[in-house]
Every structure is written in structure tokens, then in C-alpha cells.
Homo-oligomer: A and B are copies of this chain.
């Protein structure tokens, strides 16, 4: 499929995002695409910064526009607890509340119920849990998750699922998948098909046959997009890469494919090669707040004493505000002194790195040289990591 395809009909059906497949890499399963949404197009493959509770931690919407972030993510679990989706709805929806006019995606809350909340109990009806903030009792069901997400009003919303760890017992995984499928049908029924587009989620852990069976079940529900869940929960990178390489092609070619909660730069580059279009992860923002910076020369732990008098930018090849303006010595000082500015400058840099990497990825696919790009990227990353380990 050539670039010409990209010039076709770009109207978005009300409430539905539409995927435009622009180019398929000849040497891999990588795809260059465009997701049309009510808030404008997203160029894929894309990395989505995570704005957990109405803010991408450390930066403002002005910073995100400067970084040219195309889409950000909000967490239903966090937002339903604080400030509450009703309040966000009264304030005109999440876009308006947080002053973000570009596309947005919310997750279903399922993952956080299972990872963050206390005393959770899963039944056929849904998941009862206690807030990690104040212990208050809540219930998330497929219908309730869709209701909350439609109130928040993101362009893309996710089906409510259970996300069992990749290493779960096969028997538990089978039960869980079956329930997730029943929940998906309830989500699809509850979904208004206005404004927000529902994506389904394929589970199945590292069991290929279960992934295949679940992909068939999930993709039999006609939805604007599909996701792979459960790949960011404890498995090795190699197992995850192999799993995604198997699973991504099980999803429809003409819909966006979203790999949830992944991952490192090497994960992104490798899973794009398997045909994934969309990623989200807290890694760049969380690492930034902990002083771990991603650079073209490998990882930089900015608090290390070796940077105390280092006049160089964090990444000499980087064009972000942080690297254009400040030395490693100053960034180390800010981090050690626990200055608030350290959080913003580090986050700006890491997001610029992740978003810039995805721009390189898109270019490599468009130019039909993705397999070579991905191989070279992995080799360089491995060499840098080996160097870093030796230096310690």
C-alpha cells in the first residue's frame, strides 16, 4: 500500500476514529499510518505520554505542544477517584478541563484496579475495590467504565478487562480471558458510539494459542481499534518481544494496533517491527523524575558525581530546551538540590527523546528501511548498555 492511499477520505465518522494505512515496510511488519480523530490526526507509530490524573507529570500543555506530543493518555482509575468524572464532565470534559485540544485516550481503569487499589474483588459483575487514596469503596463494571470514559470524553476509550500477569497459570488465564470477552460485549453494548471510540483488548499472556483464541473473540466485535494487554507485567523483554511478534499480526491490518504500557526505547523499536502502531508508558516521565535520562549515547543517571562539573548538554545530539540551554552540571545540581525545575527539565528531555525516536521510526518506515533501522538501533543500545555496565 503506497503513500497515495494517504490522500483518500479522511473524514471521521462521528464518534469513531478511522485508521489510514499509509505505508507498509517491505522488510518487516512495521506500518506507517494515521489515526483520524475528532481532535485531529495522529501520525503512527506513536508514543503517547501518560497524563495520569489530568497532567503529564512535570510538564504543562504548553511544554507538550512545544514537544509536539500528538496524543496523551489519561487514567480512568485516577480521575474517577480525584477529581471524579462527574466534575470533569461538568467542566466540559477532560480536554477542556486540562486545556489539551489534541487527541486523548483513556484506559478503562481495569489495570490500575488490579495494580494499585486495595482489597479488590473480581466477580462476573465487575471489580469492587478500595481507593488507594482514602480507602473509599468503589465498583468498576464494564458499563461503569464506559460511562466514566464517555463522561471524560477522550477520543479513544478502552474496554474494561482483567489484566492477569503474563506468568499466570494457564487455567486462570483461560477463565480470565473468557470473562474479559463477556465484559467486552457488555462494553460494546454500553458504548454510545458518539464522540469516543472504543478499542478492544486482547489478553492471553505468553500462551500463543490463548492469544490467538482471544484475538479471534475480541476482533469478532467490530471496533475502531484493538489493543494488546498484559505485556508489561513482569515478563522478560525477550519473551515480550516474541509474544508481541506473534500477537500483533493477529489484529486486523486495517485498524490501529495499540500495545498497552510498553515500554523502553528498544521495546518500541522492536514492537513497531511486529506491526504495532500505538504505545504508552510512564517510563520516560517516571525515569525523568528519578533522574534517569535517555540519550543518543545511552542512559545518563544525572545525580552521578561524574557529572558535577560536566559542561556538556545531557545529549549533544538533542535539540530539546533542556539540552539547548543547560549543562549536565546544572541538571545534576537541580536534581541533588531537589529543585522543582529538575522535574520539568528532565521530563522535557525524556519525552523529547521518546517522541523524537518515534519520528525517526516513522521516517524509516516511510523510506522502506525499517528492518535495518531497528537492527542498528538494537545493536547500538546493547553496546551502550554493555559500556554502562562496565563503567559501574
Most buried by B among A55, A62, A90: A55
A97 neighbours in B (Cβ, 8 Å):
327, 329-330, 333
Beta-carbon contacts under 8 Å, A313-354 to B: 321, 325-327, 329-330, 333-334, 336-337, 339-341, 343-345
Given contacts A99-B330, A345-B60, contact A55 B339 (CB under 8 A): yes
B62 to A330, Cβ gap below 8 A? no
Partner of A330, one of B54, B309, B329, B345: B54
Most buried by B among A82, A90, A339: A339
Given contacts A83-B308, A90-B309, A97-B329, contact A334 B62 (CB under 8 A): no
A60 to B344, Cβ gap below 8 A? yes
B53 to A337, Cβ gap below 8 A? yes
Interface size on A, residues (CB 8 A): 37
Partner of A82, one of B321, B326, B327, B337: B337
Beta-carbon contacts under 8 Å, A282-324 to B: 308-309, 311, 321
The docked-state distance in angstroms from the alpha carbon of A340 to that of B321 is 19
A46-89 vs B: 1/0 string, CB under 8 Å? 00000001110111111000000000000000000011000100
Given contacts A60-B345, A341-B59, contact A330 B98 (CB under 8 A): yes
Given contacts A82-B333, A337-B82, contact A327 B91 (CB under 8 A): yes
The docked-state distance in angstroms from the alpha carbon of A280 to that of B309 is 30
Minimum C-beta distance from A339 to chain B (A)? 5
A55 to B309, Cβ gap below 8 A? no
A88-115 vs B: 1/0 string, CB under 8 Å? 0011100001110000000000000000
A55 to B334, Cβ gap below 8 A? yes
A341-375 vs B: 1/0 string, CB under 8 Å? 10111000000000000000000000000000000
Q: List 23 A-B contacts (CB under 8 A).
A: A53-B337, A53-B339, A54-B330, A54-B333, A54-B337, A55-B337, A55-B340, A57-B340, A58-B341, A60-B344, A60-B345, A61-B325, A62-B321, A83-B308, A83-B333, A87-B309, A91-B309, A91-B329, A92-B311, A97-B329, A97-B330, A340-B340, A340-B343
